[in-house]
Structure 1
């Protein structure tokens, strides 16, 4: 969820909390006014000279409405880029429970702009299809399509300024879930495709995963979910509705897309993530109902020998970085250290 959620008032109706309406055909109507957007600013000459980031929207698949918003720090435009000073690539996936939000939402636009500046990295924020019109794994499929498009792109902002051998996948909330599940797919394909001709993403080389307050769940509530059952930002009724609308029909919250702790789930692929040398960072706070499963995931990865680090703050709330600039800056400092560490 985004900082817009902070404005929500107490209610037992998750549809009202999310500003959506159910339709008889199983689709939902979204209140676009609740999620203000910001246009891209791709022209350096027309852009405010004080704006340190330029942005551009690029369509991947118009029939599926898959598109990217590229965030390019202005600084590389001031001098010719060589192979030695190209920038890391952060491929970012927004939250919203798989049912709402997009990269052009003001909160995500500002967050990705800040990340591009603080890290001096190119950020590519991906728009993917929404449930319930397109239930999981549609969003995962779209993410894979986006990665394959990025690896073969002719877009000059990427070919000129990006170090494709230094790529990180990052997601917030539902986007963190997406990154985890997509990573399992990519890792399996990378290891199985020994001749490197079909499934791998070369020249795009993933170095690590950043799961920011990733959204996972299960049929049995965790201690943090019970403690924060009626949380002001992410009450259980909202999480439950998100999974109800996004999981395959008839699935419960112990489905493998939702619960990474399902017995045997991902065990082999975590071994493959280890063998690929990917590093993982999981971030969260104990004011988030989802923290218990986030901590447990870190423990499981540690047990499998994955290079994983968890950063969990006291207090806070879900999506805190979208509403409090100092928290965003603290997160960016963690990300910078993670991305640029050897």
Structure 2
């Protein structure tokens, strides 16, 4: 029997290091980003180490300790940032070099203790798997007993932070945490930092139409990511993609009652900018303190690709979370 002809190439799949087989199944064929090990060099200003969270689902976390700051300020506990990486729920890792460098700089210059979460990826593990892993990481932080957390992290000063799809995860995990905050004590969430969060919907926004063929995140790529990440049989107006699809007023009420603060960042060169601005409106409509910080120009993922922005982002975080060196 002759072999089946290869499936036609798809540039949007190629971007993700994926391939569609003739039977329509998806396989991974390439690693999209270089990876770096955790840093244990005592001469380096920021140390890092990896810990398993759930061995059954192969989730783990990379902790970052700004040793240079902790050594000079041994009696001060630092804010805790729980970070979720981007990648459209499909690609990316807490071990990616570009993310490792970002978290190291944020830990040093904010300064803060950072827990970068490795969660399960789609399409092997569709949503809500990433949300489940993101919330489980909070329970792990609370119970791990690791000395970096117990000695240097202020559990009462914790923020959830995510970039792109990670911003979506931080939003969804934040809704759960607001409703179930008592389960997390002594860990106390004080707010969210959503960097260019990845949201979607069936109807195109003005910015999506304007930037439909964007070089970084064309609409075809984002549509494909949602196709592979959302539960089978739903469209982009599902609540995981479109925050307007199913608003949870009780969660927003809890955020407001617990005095949460939210920061949403974006730039006009990102096709998702209109959706990010609408999330700001959603928080405002529900009485949650929110700041939208939107810039001209730029592109999706600029905070990762432009290293000159790392320290600026660290200063922004320090101002927002209310911690000054």
Matched, 1:75 2:74: no
What is the deviation of 1:189?
2.1
Query: Which residue number corresponds to residue 193 of structure 1?
Result: none
Listed as ranges, the matches of 1:148-297 within 5 Å are 148-190=139-181, 196=182, 200-262=183-245, 264-297=246-279
> Which among 28, 33, 36 is matched to residue 34 of structure 2?
36
Structure 1 residue runs of 5 or longer lacking an equivalent are 1-10, 191-195
- Residues 95, 101 of structure 1: 8 Å contact kept: yes
What is the deviation of 1:76?
4.5
Q: Supply the distance in 2 between the matched residues of 1:63 and 1:25 (Cα, whole angstroms).
A: 28
Q: Supply the distance in 1 between the matched residues of 2:126 and 2:274 (Cα, whole angstroms).
A: 26
What whole-Å deviation, never above 9, does each CA across 1:140-179 have from its counterpart, x for those lacking one?
Answer: 0011111101001121111111111111100000000011
What is the deviation of 1:303?
1.9
- Residues 119, 335 of structure 1: 8 Å contact kept: yes
Q: Supply the distance in 2 between the matched residues of 1:27 and 1:17 (Cα, whole angstroms).
A: 14
Task: Name the count of aligned residue pairs.
Answer: 315
- Residues 184, 270 of structure 1: 8 Å contact kept: yes
What whole-Å deviation, never above 9, does each CA across 1:283-314 have from its counterpart, x for those lacking one?
Answer: 00010000101101111211221110000000
Query: Which residue number corresponds to residue 3 of structure 1?
Result: none
Provide the aligned C-alpha RMSD in A: 1.7
Query: Which residue number corresponds to residue 19 of structure 2?
Result: 21
Q: Supply the distance in 2 between the matched residues of 1:267 and 1:341 (Cα, whole angstroms).
A: 30
Matched, 1:302 2:300: no
Q: Supply the distance in 2 between the matched residues of 1:186 and 1:266 (Cα, whole angstroms).
A: 13
Listed as ranges, the matches of 1:76-115 within 5 Å are 76-78=69-71, 81-82=74-75, 85-115=76-106
Query: Which residue number corresponds to residue 7 of structure 1?
Result: none
What is the deviation of 1:329?
2.5
What whole-Å deviation, never above 9, does each CA across 1:264-300 have from its counterpart, x for those lacking one?
Answer: 5223321221111111000000100001011011112
What is the deviation of 1:128?
0.2
What whole-Å deviation, never above 9, does each CA across 1:1-39 have from its counterpart, x for those lacking one?
Answer: xxxxxxxxxx9620112222235583421412x310001
- Residues 22, 29 of structure 1: 8 Å contact kept: no
Q: Supply the distance in 1 between the matched residues of 2:149 and 2:172 (Cα, whole angstroms).
A: 25
Structure 2 residue runs of 5 or longer lacking an equivalent are 1-8
Matched, 1:142 2:133: yes
Q: Supply the distance in 2 between the matched residues of 1:137 and 1:57 (Cα, whole angstroms).
A: 24
Q: Supply the distance in 2 between the matched residues of 1:80 and 1:279 (Cα, whole angstroms).
A: 27
- Structure 1 length-normalised TM: 0.88
Query: Which residue number corresponds to residue 303 of structure 2?
Result: 321
- Residues 18, 26 of structure 2: 8 Å contact kept: no
What whole-Å deviation, never above 9, does each CA across 1:24-80 have from its counterpart, x for those lacking one?
Answer: 583421412x31000111252xxxx2x311110001112211100011101255357
